[in-house]
Structure 1
Amino acid sequence: MTGSPTSGAPLRLPFDLPRLGIGTAPLGGLFQEVTEREAAATLEAAARAGIRYFDTAPRYGHGRAEERLGRLLAPAGIDGPVISTKTGWLLRPGADGAPGEVVTDWTEAGIRASLESSLERLGRSSVDILYLHDPDDYPEEVRRTAYPAVRRLREEGLVRAIGFGMNHSGPLAAYVAEFDVDVVLVAGRFSLLDHDALETLLPLCARTGTAVVVGGVFNTGLLADPSPDAMFNYRPVPARELARARRCGEICAGFGVPLSAAAIQFPFLHPAVTSVVVGCRSAAEVTSNAAAYRFPVPEQLWVRLAEEGFVPEGLVAG
């Protein structure tokens, strides 16, 4: 499960990144609690599915996702995992058992402290990728201290690759244009329902050789289960987007393809996309998403989806 763009500049990433990875926000308790046993079963299912890439962050469950990866990856039988984590935010413990707070810190000391605490939770001496996490409103801080700090961490060998992880493709593209970036993670902005990353980010990354990891391919669940109770980009689903998702599912069903399979595989239509990460909170979700990733999708389906605007023009042969 490795790959690289078929056109554009050679990848800056100094190692092969698995095509399918797991986002660990659910293991940190996003939306609902996940028990230790469920987390262990999730990672065991990942091992059975051959998944080796795991994306995490200190903010996922106030460090819980990282701690669980540190404790449970080896017992799950995952050998040589590829791990990305994030920096730019520090965890502050709460008093008397109260929930702690998360504060921004883009200074070099803060960036280093964040990585050091992540490495301690993960039980590792280094990580493969370190992303600056959601620095949308901090371009001057990134320019003055945060980016130079992660670049030095890369030079010191504490991380193998550096980049930015964000939910908005415009600011992300601006950072790619300005800085030497190995890889970016864009969430929710390149899916069957949202093509925003195609405007500037993906063409730019293809030209610069910046690897692109796409998260949020289900737009927070809607494209996994297009029901009125589904979430869309972390909010209750609007009626228009629910109708669009259901129509997309109808088209896929006409070709005998699950909507989830089209959603997971869609980003790979663009040559700049190297990997997709999907959030999983259970063994069943891992197994289902791995099957969707491998499900045969005929070219005719992409053409049909393009005819109704779910796939951008130019990504498939008409």
Structure 2
Amino acid sequence: MTGRGHDPHPAPARPLGRGGLRVGPYSFGGAQLGNLDREVPDHEWTGAVPAAWAGGARYFDVAPHYGLGLAERRLGAALAGLPAADGAIVSTKVGRLLAPGPGTGTDPEGFAVPDTSVRVSDYSRDGVLRSLEASLERLGRDSVDILYVHDPDHHYREAMEGAFPALAELRSQGVVRSYGAGMNQSEMLTRFVCGTDLDVVLLAGRYTLLEQGALDDLLPECARRGVSVVAGGAFNSGLLATEHPRPGAAYNYAPAPDELLRRARAIAAVCERHGTTLPAAAARFPLGHPAVATVCLGSYSADQAARNAALFRAPVPGDLWADLADSGLLRADAPVPHAGPGGAPGPAATEGHPA
């Protein structure tokens, strides 16, 4: 179930974890379904998942954190309305339980929802089981395919002693197909890759056209150990999402520093010279690394989801990457995609830049 809608030249599916799942280049991130940054009305969000499905997305990621459960409820409703959605791959996350909140204002963590719930950090075995049970109820599903430990930046020991053993148990029992961790940093993810038997990680914002530090720790370790990488945050929360980045564009959910804005504009200019766009190059770049299984892009609406899907069909000339490297705008050792559908790496593109 990893087709690409009506694309006559679909990109090959890649393994996602070790449980037999396979995924196409474009996957759907569900944060916007939780009213990220603004309230998303029904007429807008209800079209996003069907449009992503029509564009080839078969993997959908969500979390209790996103809108205090709203994103899970919306994703469950949207998938239930798709005739063939029993072929969807769904992941959610553990580590934040939802408890009753004051109900006197709005969520303080960036989602436009009432604070009728609050997040309680819990990376224990019991917390994992309770979180999964609540997520399944919100999603309206009997199971999910992948569970991630979500942002355990300040809970390393609790995750190692509680959450990961619980997830390993769930995988061994066949309750989930794969498990892993989702974070905005590569350093701790690398420690988890080396210290547990996880088989998939979601790395958000740290392997993009703007920054490739994960080449120094996480990505080579994942390649050695057969761990799949889901690349999230490919637009660095907005800076790489438009053809011509403007002042005030977001980077890590805050206005981008001038230095990064200048760098993004320089990359955009090189893309334009090669007849492509910054968003198309940004969406495709992570797929050049052999450990990266898919790129996870969020959207608020049907139009955004269709546009995201189209980025994986847009022409991105192979010599773009070498030009970026020669200009000092991309690390010379970064594996790059070839120019084919979906940007899947070819035999000559998995190490360095193609000649």
Q: TM-score surpassing 0.5?
A: yes
Post-superposition CA distance 1:202-242 (Å, at most 9, x none) = 00000000000000000000001211121001111111111
SS of the equivalent of 1:131 reads strand
Q: 1:59 aligns with which of 42, 65, 73?
A: 65
Q: Which residue number in structure 2 is paired with residue 206 of structure 1?
A: 223
- CA 1:4–1:97: 2 relative to 1, 3 Å: same
- For residues 42 and 143 of structure 1, what CA distance do their matches in structure 2 show? 36
1:244 counterpart = 2:281: no
Post-superposition CA distance 1:74-111 (Å, at most 9, x none) = 32445211111100110112245651210100111111
More helix by share: 1
Shift of 1:14: 2.6
SS of the equivalent of 2:311 reads helix
Q: Normalising by structure 2, what TM-score?
A: 0.85
Contact preservation (8 Å) 1:58, 1:66: yes
Q: Which residue number in structure 2 is paired with residue 26 of structure 1?
A: 32
Segments of 5+ residues of structure 1 without an aligned counterpart are none
Shift of 1:2: 4.6
1:292 counterpart = 2:311: yes
Q: Which residue number in structure 1 is paired with residue 126 of structure 2?
A: 109
Q: Which residue number in structure 2 is paired with residue 92 of structure 1?
A: 99
Contact preservation (8 Å) 1:89, 1:133: yes
Shift of 1:17: 2.5
- For residues 137 and 164 of structure 2, what CA distance do their matches in structure 1 show? 22
Of stretches 261-270 and 69-78 in structure 1, the one that deviates more from structure 2 is 69-78
1:188 counterpart = 2:198: no
Contact preservation (8 Å) 1:84, 1:129: yes
Q: How does 1:113-192 map to 2 (within 5 A)?
A: 113-192=130-209
Q: Which residue number in structure 1 is paired with residue 297 of structure 2?
A: 278
Q: Which residue number in structure 2 is paired with residue 317 of structure 1?
A: 354
Structure 1 letter corresponding to 2:354: A
Segments of 5+ residues of structure 2 without an aligned counterpart are 1-10, 106-114, 336-352
Contact preservation (8 Å) 2:24, 2:56: no
1:233 counterpart = 2:243: no
Contact preservation (8 Å) 1:44, 1:77: no
SS of the equivalent of 1:50 reads coil
Q: Which residue number in structure 2 is paired with residue 307 of structure 1?
A: 326
Of stretches 60-69 and 141-150 in structure 1, the one that deviates more from structure 2 is 141-150
Shift of 1:311: 2.8
- For residues 76 and 39 of structure 1, what CA distance do their matches in structure 2 show? 14
Which of 1 and 2 has higher RCO (CA within 8 Å, sep 6+)?
1
- CA 1:204–1:266: 2 relative to 1, 3 Å: same
Contact preservation (8 Å) 2:95, 2:121: yes
Q: How does 1:213-224 map to 2 (within 5 A)?
A: 213-224=230-241
Structure 1 letter corresponding to 2:72: E
Structure 1 letter corresponding to 2:13: G
- CA 1:189–1:78: 2 relative to 1, 3 Å: farther
- For residues 85 and 223 of structure 1, what CA distance do their matches in structure 2 show? 26
Structure 2 letter corresponding to 1:204: E
Contact preservation (8 Å) 1:126, 1:157: no
SS of the equivalent of 1:310 reads coil
Post-superposition CA distance 1:153-192 (Å, at most 9, x none) = 1122221100010000011101101110110000000000
- For residues 298 and 65 of structure 1, what CA distance do their matches in structure 2 show? 36
1:71 counterpart = 2:88: no
1:3 counterpart = 2:10: no
- For residues 77 and 247 of structure 1, what CA distance do their matches in structure 2 show? 44
Q: Which residue number in structure 2 is paired with residue 82 of structure 1?
A: 89
- CA 1:163–1:11: 2 relative to 1, 3 Å: closer
Post-superposition CA distance 1:235-263 (Å, at most 9, x none) = 11111111111111110001110111100
- For residues 68 and 147 of structure 1, what CA distance do their matches in structure 2 show? 27
Contact preservation (8 Å) 2:72, 2:138: yes
Shift of 1:13: 4.3
- For residues 221 and 44 of structure 2, what CA distance do their matches in structure 1 show? 40
SS of the equivalent of 1:159 reads coil
Of stretches 159-168 and 146-155 in structure 1, the one that deviates more from structure 2 is 146-155
Please tell me the root mean square deviation across aligned C-alpha atoms, in Å. 1.6
Shift of 1:144: 1.4
Q: Normalising by structure 1, what TM-score?
A: 0.94
- For residues 33 and 48 of structure 1, what CA distance do their matches in structure 2 show? 25
SS of the equivalent of 1:16 reads strand
Shift of 1:28: 0.3
Structure 1 letter corresponding to 2:98: L
